[in-house]
Chain A
């Protein structure tokens, strides 16, 4: 067990002036006297208050912090909408390969052919999975993939001289990033309701779409875990009005080999390589929000994309590019991992989807009864449930921690009261799912008092979140 003392203290407090955790090579040229080249006022007067620690102290400190964190490696993590699947360690080995890790992003193309080939091949793989021919790997996370897509749509209409497209439609079940993206891209976001399957309400959509509509941002399967069975009709409504269908690809783990977005009429989408293709989430990033689009939108992709001419790979600026969205070429680490992941799966990516959907439906079937299932029909890779009448999602979630399970996503989607969104992924065995189901059934029967007291076995108990905001202390 860790002592309270170890748990509570910051790296700064474990140091003493004069301690060092790393030594550097000796200077083999003359020492530069900074005061000779810079005016005195340019030089720092007071040194920053950082940690001054030796290496053993630092390594122990961060190792012990890691032990206060749960990851997929330590616990089942059925976090809906996040696809917390196993992260194969071969991907880490790939990213650590010196020939990639030490490659500078501004080295000329002929010095970076291996990296460009990886990017070109991944563009092809993502194109194959989506059926959309034009790919950009540059967006640095899902939300930036969304923004990139909507900026491309915006630029398309600007280019076409169609200045009246001011609105992006977003279903009320959408991820928060969707409306935030629409605003950031300069559009008004208009919310529409959903039908009895949690899907886009087609009649409401028909009413909402007009000559001011630029796009609909759809998630398929939707955030209730249900397949959007009207997707073809939805696409037609938008296309008839000259607007685009954008798909949030957060849920692509349900679609590989089973639903090609292009065939459903999707014009543009983003992937989350850190979800579907298992580049680790890293505690909240880095990600990669690669996008894929039809040829119609291809000229507007970020600068640059990778093309092959003859035997050489090169960077090319798409003809009417929106410009760049990242300092360099994207998060290459996740790009390389996703490329490796896809090569270790090949056409069997479809089995990944099949097993993810099997697991979610199994959980649905086993929890239905004790828990309410608002959309009790076939689900895809995730299922939304509600606690028994009178119980709160938050309490069940915290109770799960004491059973050794990371809580599912709670209070999302917003249209379901006390929602618990469970995404088991393909990585989990039947035994793990059965144990989890057992814990959930037990929690349904646990007294409110005990639930409200949970968790009691985690590194901390429930936190005073109001205090954190009211008495803001965000640094030492």
Chain B
């Protein structure tokens, strides 16, 4: 018998007796034997053997190299305390905190997460997370339709991460294309029947957008403005809530989550309190217990699927509690100054790299649009450049497919690595 199931043969005998059946097979007497059958799976492995296989598979990936890829997921420094807190079994192996009395730890973490997100976005209320940035975007799109009582139809530009746009389309939301000039969106021609206007900042190409222009355009047609923001950038860029945005959403991965080939990450959502009934997912609120002691509980549950069923505002149940904990611990350790330093270091290094590339004869795709830590640089053959970078022990940027590479620089990169990058692509 395997190590994860404790019963001995005599335990099993006693239990079968208590149930009043003779064999384990009798417990499946109601299942037609035609439905069962041996599982054709590889032979059982010990932990040591299984983890050896993990190591072997890990070696088939190219990792541990300086990274210049971003486009929605960033290679940032993660304090050791983050994973230490995540590995606490009381957090790791708990379920959704429906039983508040024995879930106060998890509930308070969510309350702190919501507080930090609300502060970063300068909006009144936040939920306990959704699956990822893309899903935060689509949930916001659906929210705008419910709030404006219009069909789900949103105005977006090429500045919105194309993967987010694809998820919006999967969920049946109509998209109206806004033009973009020199890498930033033109909000002057928003049609008057959209439910929402989206602005990503920094946008997909790394450029800084005008959230105020987006919210004015949205409100001009009685639609809502959704700002999609990198949370690290909110330490130094004006908060969407202060620029007229009605909903702020985004990918919380940069807040202490490892790249992990795309997940688990966490999507965040913040909005105005008057819109809270249309905010999907869990929300933790403060209350008191019988003795008047401060405590936390999942609240406004009437929005959710287990209570409202077919009329719920979303079907979301499980979210990203553990990665939201990572974001909370990370943000607590960094504080407002630390987040700002992460942002400034990344921006300084990205600008150094952009200047060095220009000095070596490369042209930026959008030379007149300010950026922070990600930019598009024109290259004749991005694939060849990336191969040369890999040969030199670096992971290059994203091939935009039209003669440009999207390069991301984080606080991890050193001057030496940046210089090496320039040298390799210049000679590729």
Residue on A nearest B102 in the bound complex, by CB = A70
Residues A257-309 near B (CB distance < 8 A): 257-260, 263-264, 272, 274, 280-287, 302-303
**Distance between A154 CB and nearest chain B CB, rounded to angstroms:** 9
Is A1 on the interface with B (CB-CB < 8 A)?
no
**Distance between B332 CB and nearest chain A CB, rounded to angstroms:** 4
B126 touching A283, Cβ below 8 Å = no
28 contacts between A and B (CB under 8 A): A22-B79, A27-B348, A28-B414, A41-B212, A45-B242, A47-B336, A69-B105, A79-B95, A84-B93, A95-B260, A100-B261, A103-B63, A117-B57, A118-B57, A128-B41, A141-B319, A280-B322, A281-B93, A283-B91, A284-B106, A286-B131, A286-B318, A286-B321, A327-B72, A327-B164, A327-B251, A343-B45, A472-B273
A330 touching B263, Cβ below 8 Å = yes
Is B291 on the interface with A (CB-CB < 8 A)?
yes
Q: A74 contacts which chain B residues (CB < 8 A)?
A: 89-90, 93
Instruction: State which of B57, B106, B331, B370 has its C-beta within 8 Å of the C-beta of A69.
Output: B106
A346 to B333, CA, bound (A): 42
Is B92 on the interface with A (CB-CB < 8 A)?
yes
**Distance between A196 CB and nearest chain B CB, rounded to angstroms:** 14
A19 to B334, CA, bound (A): 9
B99 touching A406, Cβ below 8 Å = yes
Contact A427 B4, CB 8 Å, known A32-B347, A73-B89, A260-B36: yes
Q: B62 contacts which chain A residues (CB < 8 A)?
A: 107, 111-112
A183 touching B312, Cβ below 8 Å = yes
Q: B79 contacts which chain A residues (CB < 8 A)?
A: 21-22, 55
Q: A93 contacts which chain B residues (CB < 8 A)?
A: 51, 54
Q: B43 contacts which chain A residues (CB < 8 A)?
A: 346-347
Is B374 on the interface with A (CB-CB < 8 A)?
no
Is A146 on the interface with B (CB-CB < 8 A)?
yes
B132 touching A461, Cβ below 8 Å = no
Instruction: State which of A73, A462, A463 has its C-beta within 8 Å of the C-beta of B93.
Output: A73
A177 touching B317, Cβ below 8 Å = yes
Q: B370 contacts which chain A residues (CB < 8 A)?
A: 37-38, 42
Q: B102 contacts which chain A residues (CB < 8 A)?
A: 69-70, 75, 401, 406, 455, 458-459
- Partner-binding segment picked from A204-212, A332-340, A442-450: A332-340
Residue on A nearest B209 in the bound complex, by CB = A42
Contact A455 B101, CB 8 Å, known A146-B315, A333-B263, A474-B111: yes
B95 touching A104, Cβ below 8 Å = no
- Partner-binding segment picked from A58-66, A238-246, A385-393: A58-66
A61 to B54, CA, bound (A): 34
A51 touching B31, Cβ below 8 Å = no
**Distance between B366 CB and nearest chain A CB, rounded to angstroms:** 13
Q: B340 contacts which chain A residues (CB < 8 A)?
A: 47
Is A96 on the interface with B (CB-CB < 8 A)?
yes
A144 touching B131, Cβ below 8 Å = yes
**Distance between A314 CB and nearest chain B CB, rounded to angstroms:** 14
Contact flags A450-471 to B (C-beta < 8 A → 1, else 0): 0000010011111111011100
B167 touching A325, Cβ below 8 Å = yes
Known: A102-B64, A183-B311, A343-B42. 18 other contacts (CB 8 A): A11-B112, A30-B352, A50-B331, A75-B102, A97-B54, A98-B64, A227-B30, A285-B264, A286-B264, A286-B321, A303-B166, A327-B133, A330-B262, A330-B263, A347-B44, A362-B19, A428-B6, A461-B289
Q: B299 contacts which chain A residues (CB < 8 A)?
A: 465, 468-469, 472, 474
Instruction: State which of A49, A323, A334, A355 has its C-beta within 8 Å of the C-beta of B166.
Output: A323
Q: A183 contacts which chain B residues (CB < 8 A)?
A: 310-312, 315
Is B221 on the interface with A (CB-CB < 8 A)?
no
Q: B87 contacts which chain A residues (CB < 8 A)?
A: 92
B170 touching A143, Cβ below 8 Å = no
**Distance between B269 CB and nearest chain A CB, rounded to angstroms:** 12
A104 touching B131, Cβ below 8 Å = no
A55 to B84, CA, bound (A): 12
Residue on B nearest A102 in the bound complex, by CB = B63
**Distance between B9 CB and nearest chain A CB, rounded to angstroms:** 12
A95 to B92, CA, bound (A): 13
A59 touching B59, Cβ below 8 Å = no
B172 touching A334, Cβ below 8 Å = no
Is B392 on the interface with A (CB-CB < 8 A)?
no
Contact A459 B104, CB 8 Å, known A21-B79, A58-B332, A362-B18: yes
B44 touching A32, Cβ below 8 Å = no
Instruction: State which of A107, A180, A474 has its C-beta within 8 Å of the C-beta of B312.
Output: A180
- Partner-binding segment picked from B185-193, B301-309, B357-365, B420-428: B301-309
Q: B308 contacts which chain A residues (CB < 8 A)?
A: 176, 180
Residue on B nearest A352 in the bound complex, by CB = B5
Residues B168-198 near A (CB distance < 8 A): 169-172
Q: B88 contacts which chain A residues (CB < 8 A)?
A: 62-63, 66
B258 touching A257, Cβ below 8 Å = no
A333 to B257, CA, bound (A): 11
Most buried by B among A75, A258, A329: A258
Most buried by A among B43, B71, B93, B297: B93
Residues B206-254 near A (CB distance < 8 A): 208, 212, 234-239, 242, 251
Is B83 on the interface with A (CB-CB < 8 A)?
yes
Is A397 on the interface with B (CB-CB < 8 A)?
yes
Instruction: State which of B45, B58, B166, B314 has its C-beta within 8 Å of the C-beta of A99.
Output: B58
Q: A79 contacts which chain B residues (CB < 8 A)?
A: 95
Contact A12 B115, CB 8 Å, known A104-B67, A378-B30: yes
Is B16 on the interface with A (CB-CB < 8 A)?
yes
Contact flags A396-415 to B (C-beta < 8 A → 1, else 0): 01100100001100001000
Q: B161 contacts which chain A residues (CB < 8 A)?
A: 327
Most buried by A among B47, B170, B260, B285: B260
**Distance between B100 CB and nearest chain A CB, rounded to angstroms:** 5
Instruction: State which of B57, B99, B242, B411 has its C-beta within 8 Å of the C-beta of A397.
Output: B99
